[in-house]
Amino acid sequence: PLPGSKSGLGGSERTYVMVKPDGLQQGLVGEIISMFEHKGFVLKGLKLLQTPEELAQNHYFELKEKPFYPKLVKYIISGPVVCMAWQGPGVVASARKLIGVTNPLQPEPGTICGDFGTEVGRNVVHRSDSPENGEREIALWFKDSELVEWEQCITPWLWSWQ
**Which residues of the shown chain bind ligand IDP in the complex (CB under 6 A)?**
63, 68, 72, 102, 120-121, 123, 126, 129
Q: Where are the beta strands (DSSP E) in the chain?
A: 14-19, 42-49, 81-87, 125-127
Smaller CB distance to ligand IDP: residue 101 or 158?
101
Smaller CB distance to ligand IDP: residue 68 or 157?
68
Smaller CB distance to ligand IDP: residue 49 or 63?
63
| Count of alpha carbons within 13 angstroms of residue 72, beta-carbon side | 20
Please state, as a whole number, how many other Cβ atoms lie within 10 Å of the Cβ of residue 68: 12
Judge whether 38 counts as a catalytic residue: no
Contact 22, 124 (CB under 8 A): yes
Indicate the DSSP class of residue 146: G
Q: Which of 20, 59, 126, 127 is catalytic?
A: 126
CB of 142 to ligand IDP, least distance (A): 19
CB of 6 to ligand IDP, least distance (A): 34
Catalytic site positions: 126
